Amino acid sequence: MSPLLAWAGKRPLTTALAGAVLLLLSFPPVGWWPLAWVATIPWIALVATPDFEASHPWKKIWLASVVYWAAATYYVSIPHPLLWFGWVALFLFLSIYPLLFVWIGRKLVHGHRVPMLIAAPLVFTALEWVRAHALSGFGLTMLANSQYRVPLILQVSDIAGGYGLTFLMVLFAAGCFLLISRQRQIAGVVTCLVTLGIVVGYGMVQLQHFATASGEPIDMAVIQGNIDTRFPDTEQELAEYRRQRMEDYLRIHQEWYDASIRSNPPDLIIWPEGKYPVPEILPGGTSDENDAIRQAFRDFHEWLFGLDPDPPALVAGTATRDPVKDEFFNSAVLIGTRGQVSQRYLKQHLVIFGEYIPGQQWFPALGRMTPIGEGFASGDFGESFKIGPYYAMPFICFESAVAHLIRESVGQLRSLNKDPDFLINLTDDGWFYGTAVLDHHLACNVMRAVENRKPVIAAANTGLSAIIQSTGEILHQGPRRKEQVMRHTVELKPRTSPYAYIGDWPAIIMTVICVFAIVLPPRRAPGTQTND
């Protein structure tokens, strides 16, 4: 037995902690992205070792998993003390996944005699797909996301999404494992070289193709403010906080939109999630109160643009109220001349503990016990905003982390002949006080740009706002926790991707294989033979 396998069998806690540390260093705030290509080796060693000689090995592996996910999701606890409960529940739930990787991997390798080069990437990718869907899904810190600063590597994600890149990264790690554990070293070297060749070669071809393609320009500006999320204790403090938010964004906008801008306005201005201070009222339910809110909405638009008779289009995040059903939606609206809302998008994928409380519909008191209140209702479909000759698809906050939602929404709009030319992410990351989740959020937007071959424009309160090309290249990035107006001309080059049509089927098939590995009886009892 190789020393690596003997070590893993005798010291599963140390081995799993080594894997946890490598993964943590791969992602922001450290962001040593090359480590992500080898970070799964310790976990693969736990799969490969014939027997665990230590006592309670599964408890020790689970403990290391808890440490990893508690550190990786620490930001959940920041906005409000009650969210500590949500944080603990989240990392305890997520800690199951590394444990499942080792358990299912061992069933495949030792029980069904599947080679490690197939078992490791298959199980890891399948579990990422499950994690993106189970219990509302958690799409942050996917392994492929660690590469968001390296466009050359990212290009392969347009084939099978980030799951395809994850598969290749774990395949590379499995090849490295064979090499350093002195098992089938030639196969390990060949696997590593071929994997890198596929990723780099495909990336070079795609980047060259993009560089030589022609496109149409669109001039846009992103307004980024710097207002941390707070939960005031009194109604007076709440009113003051809301007034500050309105005045800050109004000031930033008006200081920028001066006479020089009026003479050369952009095609589009974008405000972040929830920063248009007046709610929008859906048609119907006429009353003096609703009519007053509608008028206030138009009045604020006039304050923004003064006497400009033909202001540019404005996409802004606000709350939308359905006066008939008495429901509120987190929404994006397209506002034209005279403050008229021409189109709206109602957020589909709500954030648990941030926009709704599980079970709140049956126990309304849960909302009154938290600062969320009644929360939001969810929309049903995507929307393409018509901006001049172009279509833009908005999405809100951490919908950017839900790869299948963005791909499906783009596909639905394409079938309606409203294929978006670019995507817009409106978000309020003031909840997280400048922590690494801002980088994770940016990474999700980069991945969605490559997967769908659409530029992504991210407007983020407190940052990180960004203008991202369809290659994943970040053309312009806003600062962290600072105000800035980003103006940039983006060249829209019409493209599509295999992922738009293949979707998640490769990852789904891998998940089905894992289910069969669990259900079917093993060909050989786990632990009786090492299969490399």
Report the alpha-carbon distance of residue 506 to residue 337 in Å, rounded.
Answer: 46
Name the residue with higher pLDDT: 256 or 81. Answer: 256
Residue 118, Cβ density class (10 Å: 0-12 exposed, 13-18 middle, ≥19 buried): middle
Cα dihedral: 452, 453, 458, 464 (round 10): 100
With a CB cutoff of 8 Å and minimum separation 6, the contacts of 199 are 153, 156, 165, 168
Q: Which long-range contacts (CB under 8 A, 24 or more apart) does 289-296 make?
A: 290/323, 293/321
Q: What pLDDT score was predicted for residue 362? A: 62
Assess whether pLDDT exceeds 60 at residue 530: no
Q: Of the given ranges (88-92, 192-196, 379-383, 527-531), which has the lowest mean pLDDT?
A: 527-531
**CB of 116 closer than 8 Å to CB of 532:** yes
Q: What pLDDT score was predicted for residue 154? A: 98
Q: What pLDDT score was predicted for residue 257? A: 86
Q: What is the pLDDT of residues 2-45, one digit of tens each?
A: 888 888 889 999 999 999 999 999 999 999 999 999 999 999 99
Q: What pLDDT score was predicted for residue 304? A: 87
Assess whether pLDDT exceeds 90 at residue 356: no
Query: From 3.90.79.10, 3.40.50.300, 3.60.110.10, 3.40.50.2000, which CATH number describes the 216-494 domain?
Result: 3.60.110.10
Residues 260-267, mean pLDDT to the nearest whole number? 83
Confidence band, pLDDT 50/70/90 cuts, at residue 303: confident
**Tokens standing for 389?**
């000759």
User: What is the crossing angle of helices 96-106 and 83-94, to 10°?
Assistant: 10
pTM, two decimals, is 0.93
Assess whether pLDDT exceeds 60 at residue 267: yes
With a CB cutoff of 8 Å and minimum separation 6, the contacts of 63 are 13, 16
**What is the SS3 assignment for 486-517?**
EEEEEEECCCCCCHHHHCCHHHHHHHHHHHHH
**CB of 523 closer than 8 Å to CB of 113:** yes
**CB of 345 closer than 8 Å to CB of 332:** yes
Q: What is the pLDDT of residues 110-133, one digit of tens each?
A: 999 999 999 999 999 999 999 999
Q: Which CA distances in Å does 105 have to 64, 164, 191, 287, 471?
A: 17, 19, 19, 62, 34
Confidence band, pLDDT 50/70/90 cuts, at residue 403: very high
Q: Which CA distances in Å does 144 have to 160, 163, 444?
A: 12, 7, 10
Q: Cis omega before residue 464 (within 30°)?
A: yes
Report the alpha-carbon distance of residue 331 to residue 419 in Å, rounded.
Answer: 20
Confidence band, pLDDT 50/70/90 cuts, at residue 529: very low
Name the residue with higher pLDDT: 60 or 289. Answer: 60
Average pLDDT value for the chain? 90
Residue 142, helix vs strand vs coil: coil
Domain spans in the chain, listed from the N-terminal domain onward: 3-212+505-519, 216-494
Report the alpha-carbon distance of residue 111 to residue 104 in Å, rounded.
Answer: 10
Residues 210-228, mean pLDDT to the nearest whole number? 93
Q: What pLDDT score was predicted for residue 485? A: 94
**CB of 527 closer than 8 Å to CB of 105:** no
Residues 397-402, mean pLDDT to the nearest whole number? 95
Q: What pLDDT score was predicted for residue 1? A: 66
Residues 311-333, mean pLDDT to the nearest whole number? 92
Confidence band, pLDDT 50/70/90 cuts, at residue 259: low
With a CB cutoff of 8 Å and minimum separation 6, the contacts of 4 are 45, 177, 180, 181
Q: What pLDDT score was predicted for residue 531? A: 40
Residue 154, helix vs strand vs coil: helix
Q: What pLDDT score was predicted for residue 363? A: 60
**Amino acid of residue 45:** A
**Amino acid of residue 270:** I
- Greatest mean pLDDT among 118-122, 262-266, 318-322 lies in 118-122
Q: Which CA distances in Å does 177 have to 99, 349, 531?
A: 19, 39, 13
Residue 54, Cβ density class (10 Å: 0-12 exposed, 13-18 middle, ≥19 buried): middle
Q: Of the given ranges (82-86, 226-230, 257-261), which has the lowest mean pLDDT?
A: 257-261
Pairing outcome for strands 385-387 and 390-396: antiparallel
Q: Could you write out the DSSP letters of every residue in 206-254? A: HHHHHHH---EEEEEEEEE--------SSHHHHHHHHHHHHHHHHHHHH
Confidence band, pLDDT 50/70/90 cuts, at residue 373: low
Report the alpha-carbon distance of residue 191 to residue 438 in Å, rounded.
Answer: 34
Confidence band, pLDDT 50/70/90 cuts, at residue 77: confident
**Tokens standing for 254?**
């008006």
Q: What pLDDT score was predicted for residue 528? A: 47
Please give the distance of CA 43 from its chain centroid, rounded to a whole number: 24
**CB of 393 closer than 8 Å to CB of 363:** no
**Tokens standing for 484?**
């800035």
Q: What pLDDT score was predicted for residue 369? A: 56
